[in-house]
Structure 1
């Protein structure tokens, strides 16, 4: 099994909390999926291997996860590890903040061509994460490269009839405008949904999926909870964005797919459903977007 390829301290250092992975939650009665995770990032004071993550997922009855690339290197890693591990599918892309780092358009095109080649793999089920990020990327030339990359990724998803996994940070109207101008892929997911009810309603109108991470549990994020309740349950998905966005009450420690049960139970309470019904709905939605984890091995 391939080991993580980069190390990063991603936890936010809440005072008095250790920089290691939290204990296992109570297992789910009906397992579900983490539809966006970054296992290539070895995090915490005692990083977990891919095998460690799989063992922890099985211990809490998780069914699988989508391993997401953000560079050409990590996308190659994601496709490779998904080809060997039955619990993982892959998404491949250049992150919006990566595109402006290429010094020439030719170099960017070469990297995008690499993503297009990876997209043909049977275990690669999404192009992502791609999109627009106006928080970290600034300057006309840099934003132009970001938009160009996003447009190319949209086309790759459509050409391969696989899902599009969107990173949208402080760029809601521009992301929507781009999807409408080019035509969104049939299955489009707003990863780590960060918008308000207005954007949620746009997603509802267009049949785009809203994927919620552990930050929906943060007290300040009422707009996320309102957005979840503003759309049909058939458009809801769940993720970790691990090792980031660890849900309460473990915030400040590294995140991992095995912690999905905390967020699922929180979402179930919001919906007024039990966790079994919630998991079953999320599973239907996730398999509609990515297909079955048992295929393509």
Structure 2
């Protein structure tokens, strides 16, 4: 057995302590979401289509919409990295974030259920659910403004599966049939082809539909408001408070400056032009 002198033992203890101090920042960096993004050189934005929040050109694959622009500007102007949009669906947008398929989920409603799985940024805008129908549909009473007036046997409501509006109407509809479809195009087509009597969607999204089809499309704004919530970026649960603060500072600045409202108007106008 080799005996070490007291001096040697003290020196080894000091060396071990120094090693721990040196390695600590490295471990801290590994837990920083934005440090990891900067190392990778790209911010991955998980995007499920929901105009005008998130829009995707089917020909080019390019993303637009005001939440897409917010994510793009955060990556390019704040983190100073490239931005990559990752296609997903509303059914998978939370799970994909949890499994590190992207760094931010776009345009998520901040709900108590989702807060159990992920964290959220400061809100960029508000949200509630409206329902669009054809004013010539005899099943829907003229001037309807409550859920009870449309929750009837024989009425079909189209909604994007896995969305906040899906959860909202599932909690209040008792008699009407709910037609759950994978995307925004499918729900609109169901309404326009008369396979569905109403389309439940975000109030801003449904505004696009009514503005584009003034001759027949009418929106019901339920009173009281249905599923009044905030819309924000989703981040992984383990994201540090410091990283969330960086994102919140950016979002709050965009809201306060009026940039978000300008982006919403631009996105709505772009969508209306596309639908002509």
Fold-level match, TM-score > 0.5?
A: no
Give the TM-score, by structure 1 length: 0.25
| Higher strand proportion | 2
More RCO (CA 8 Å, sep 6+): 2
Which protein has the larger Cα radius of gyration, Structure 1 or Structure 2? Answer: 2
